[in-house]
């Protein structure tokens, strides 16, 4: 498959959507990003690579970081993790409080903010140096030591993070948070603030695309079966209340973030990352979604 040709064609086809949607503004630092950017990069497990436009521009990975924290929590806790967070799709917005109240502080899945906040608490309780250990893991899985947090983005989110503060309080009230809530929130926002490019994300996610390769990065190990299960959760929960639509239109496991990034994997074939800051009403990148829909339609490659 000539992926370079495929993505060049796709780019031409998605240009009419370039002004659709709006970038996230509830995190003031993200509102400063030029919304009119697009990047895409695909890497196969055989070492082929194709990229286009701003594939090497770093952006805020936001909720994509939840895949990395899930890998760490699964490695550390194994199936014990599922006592504190579920693995069912929610059908709700990523920062919804309603279900969390009804279900007494057990988040539906690890990719909701509530689920990721519980994972932040678990990592704080189990890692010697949580901030350093998380970054070391992301760097190891990406094979790139220059990846870093953006502390301004994290601080900007903390200053305006009223809804996430409500979520952590509701969790704490229900005894699903062990650490001090301010510490948990700050660590959660810091993990969300990691910046990576499409190329870097796509290379990092090869670790999930190829479950036959040993998963062992900076002391974080997963079995092939755990990697496959992470992909199952990406498939069912990676896009919040748009997970069904993503499965329908794209047909690959993946994860999005409000920075406008989306990563998806075609197991045992490739990992692809797209980025464009303008989001639809559900918080997913408009051009990113369109590009991935065209990718699996034009190549006729999807898990279905
Ligand atoms: N940091 C963001 C938040 O907590 C992440 C949300 C997202 O990317 N969907 O709201």
Separation between Cα atoms, residue 107 and residue 172, nearest integer Å = 12
- The atom of ligand 1 lying closest to the CA of 257 is 8
Q: Tell me, what's the pLDDT at 156? A: 95
Q: Tell me, what's the pLDDT at 91? A: 87
Query: How far is the centre of ligand 1, averaged over its atoms, from the C-alpha of 113 (Å)?
Result: 7
3-class secondary structure per residue, 217-252: ECCEEECHHHHHHHHHHHHHHCCHHHHHHHHHHCCC
Query: How far is the centre of ligand 1, averaged over its atoms, from the C-alpha of 112 (Å)?
Result: 9
Query: How far is the centre of ligand 1, averaged over its atoms, from the C-alpha of 172 (Å)?
Result: 19
Query: How far is the centre of ligand 1, averaged over its atoms, from the C-alpha of 72 (Å)?
Result: 19
Q: How many CB atoms lie within 10 A of CB 15?
A: 11
Give DSSP secondary structure letters for 94-160: TT--HHHHHTTT--S-TTSHHHHHHHHHHHHHH-SSHHHHHHHHHHHHHT-TT-B--HHHHHHHHHH
Q: What's the whole-model pTM score?
A: 0.97
Ligand 1: residue of 62, 254, 256 to mutate (most ligand atoms within 8 A of CB) is 62
- The atom of ligand 1 lying closest to the CA of 157 is 1
Query: How far is the centre of ligand 1, averaged over its atoms, from the C-alpha of 111 (Å)?
Result: 10
pLDDT digits (tens, 9 = 90+) for 111-132: 999 999 999 999 999 999 999 9
Query: How far is the centre of ligand 1, averaged over its atoms, from the C-alpha of 278 (Å)?
Result: 15
Mean pLDDT over 8-20 rounds to 97
Closest Cα to atom 2 of ligand 1: 62
> Is residue 240's pLDDT more than 90?
no
Ligand 1 contacts (CB < 6 A) are 62-63, 94-95, 113, 157, 164, 192, 257-258, 283
- The atom of ligand 1 lying closest to the CA of 63 is 8
User: Which candidate, 216, 221, 116, places its Cα nearest to that of 176?
Assistant: 116
pLDDT digits (tens, 9 = 90+) for 45-89: 999 999 999 999 999 999 999 999 999 999 999 999 999 999 999
Mean pLDDT over 230-242 rounds to 95
Query: How far is the centre of ligand 1, averaged over its atoms, from the C-alpha of 257 (Å)?
Result: 7
Separation between Cα atoms, residue 101 and residue 174, nearest integer Å = 9
Separation between Cα atoms, residue 91 and residue 112, nearest integer Å = 10
Average pLDDT, the chain: 96
């Amino acid at each position: 498959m000539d992926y370079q040709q495929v993505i060049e064609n796709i780019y031409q086809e998605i240009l009419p959507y370039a002004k659709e949607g709006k970038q996230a503004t509830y995190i003031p630092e993200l509102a400063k990003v030029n919304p009119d950017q697009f990047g895409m990069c695909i890497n196969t497990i055989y070492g082929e690579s194709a990229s286009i436009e701003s594939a090497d521009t770093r952006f805020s990975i936001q909720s994509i970081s939840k895949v990395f924290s899930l890998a760490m929590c699964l490695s550390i806790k194994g199936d014990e993790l599922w006592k504190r967070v579920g693995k069912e799709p929610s059908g709700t917005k990523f920062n919804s409080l309603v279900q969390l109240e009804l279900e007494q502080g057990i988040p539906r899945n690890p990719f909701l903010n509530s689920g990721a906040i519980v994972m932040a608490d678990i990592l704080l309780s189990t890692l010697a140096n949580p901030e350093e250990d998380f970054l070391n893991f992301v760097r190891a899985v990406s094979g790139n030591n220059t990846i870093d947090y953006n502390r301004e983005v994290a601080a900007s989110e903390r200053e305006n993070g009223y809804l996430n503060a409500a979520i952590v309080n509701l969790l704490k009230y229900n005894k699903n948070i062990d650490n001090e809530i301010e510490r948990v929130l700050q660590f959660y926002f810091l993990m969300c603030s990691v910046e990576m490019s499409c190329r870097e994300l796509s290379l990092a996610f090869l670790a999930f695309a190829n479950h036959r390769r040993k998963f062992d990065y900076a002391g974080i190990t997963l079995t092939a079966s755990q990697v496959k299960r992470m992909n199952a959760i990406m498939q069912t929960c990676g896009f919040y209340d748009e997970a069904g639509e993503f499965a329908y239109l794209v047909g690959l496991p993946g994860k999005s973030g409000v920075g406008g990034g989306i990563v998806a994997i075609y197991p045992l074939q490739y990992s692809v990352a797209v980025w464009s800051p303008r989001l639809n009403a559900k918080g997913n990148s408009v051009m990113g979604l369109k590009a991935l829909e065209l990718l699996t339609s034009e190549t006729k490659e999807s898990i279905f």
